[in-house]
């Protein structure tokens, strides 16, 4: 059974969990908060974290070399979908690489951060999830409303945040424990869930371009084809993708 630390508000559960990990906290230690004042997203973005959401970070100690865990981010996204389905009865899609979506809008974001030892092993990973559960979408700015949704909008029911956090933490730990041995199965699940595949996307990096999303490989990289027929491989640390006519 994982240890769960419950907080009302915190700057960032990922930063809190990283401090605990540096002090030696065990595999499976989880931190949940009802709001964050300095939530962080991928690629240095901030992550709006008002009350109504669940902000959860889980410390993982996979005892693997970093190159064995290229697919971890994707595996964890699939596990988070499993948890939402188990607790709330609806299965979100995944916008590559690990935004959870419902009906074309963002429901949750996942930020996985790794710390390595000098010999290339993972010292610890922190998997952080921010998911809009019971938030009132009408309170968000018009720009955010255009791309964001909540579980409440789709289920009509309030989610028990602690219950969801417990299931999520336990599924994340199990996913981490099987990420290498059962990678093929996890990636097959991920592809089935991935709403980006088949779409024309804009690849946002130093030089943005348009391409068709073809596949996600066994390590979680997105394969896209540009109009000149060339195939490009996109790794999650480098870029994000956006739909041409909306968020997906
Ligand atoms: C993204 O959408 O770019 C990822 C967002 C990840 C947000 C979660 S909320 C819990 C944890 N604490 C943080 O500061 N970030 C993650």
Q: What string of H, E and C letters represents the secondary structure of 27-68?
A: CCCEEEEEEECCCECHHHCECCCCECEEEEEEEECCCCEHHH
β-bridge pairing 30-36 and 4-10: parallel
Residue nearest to atom 15 of ligand 1 (CA): 40
Reading the block at residue 31, the tokens are 């931190």
Give the binding-site residues of ligand 1, using a 6 Å CB cut-off.
Answer: 12-14, 36, 39-42, 45, 47, 55, 57, 99, 109-111, 128-130
Q: Which of 100, 129, 241 to mutate to test the pocket of ligand 1 (most atoms within 8 A of CB)?
A: 129
Q: CA 187 → CA 35, 74, 122, 140, distances in Å?
A: 32, 7, 21, 34
Spell out the per-residue pLDDT of the chain, length 248, in tens.
569 999 999 999 999 999 999 999 999 999 999 999 999 999 889 999 999 999 999 999 999 999 999 999 999 999 999 999 999 999 999 999 999 999 999 999 999 999 999 999 999 999 999 999 998 888 888 888 889 999 999 999 999 999 999 999 999 999 999 999 999 999 999 999 999 999 999 888 888 899 999 999 999 999 999 999 999 999 876 566 777 667 76
Residue nearest to atom 11 of ligand 1 (CA): 128
Reading the block at residue 189, the tokens are 């699940």
SS3 165: helix
Q: How many residues does the chain have?
A: 248
Reading the block at residue 238, the tokens are 């480098």
SS3 125: strand
Nearest ligand 1 atom, CA 99: 2
Cα distance between residue 166 and residue 1, in whole Å: 9
Residue nearest to atom 9 of ligand 1 (CA): 130
- Name the pTM for this structure: 0.95
């Amino acid at each position: 059974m994982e240890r769960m630390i419950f907080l009302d508000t915190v700057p960032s559960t990922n930063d809190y969990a990283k401090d605990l990990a540096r002090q030696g906290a065990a595999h499976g230690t989880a931190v949940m908060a009802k709001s964050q004042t300095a939530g962080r997203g991928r690629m240095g973005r901030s992550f709006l974290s008002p009350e109504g959401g669940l902000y959860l970070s889980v410390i993982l100690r996979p005892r693997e070399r970093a190159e064995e865990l290229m697919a971890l981010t994707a595996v964890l996204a699939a596990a988070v979908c499993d948890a939402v389905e188990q607790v709330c009865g609806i299965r979100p899609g995944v916008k590559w690489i690990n935004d959870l979506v419902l009906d074309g809008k963002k429901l949750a974001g996942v930020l996985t951060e790794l710390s390595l030892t000098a010999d290339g092993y993972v010292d610890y990973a922190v998997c952080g999830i921010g998911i809009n559960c019971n938030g009132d979408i009408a309170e968000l700015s018009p720009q955010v409303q255009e791309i964001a949704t909540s579980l409440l909008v789709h289920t009509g029911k309030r989610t028990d945040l602690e219950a969801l956090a417990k299931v999520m933490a336990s599924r994340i730990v199990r996913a981490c424990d099987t990420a290498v041995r059962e990678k093929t199965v996890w990636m097959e699940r991920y592809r089935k869930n991935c709403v980006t595949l088949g779409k024309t996307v804009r690849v946002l990096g130093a030089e943005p371009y348009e391409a068709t999303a073809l596949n996600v490989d066994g390590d979680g990289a997105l394969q896209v084809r540009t109009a000149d027929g060339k195939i490009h491989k996109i790794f999650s640390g480098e870029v994000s993708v956006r739909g041409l006519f909306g968020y997906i």
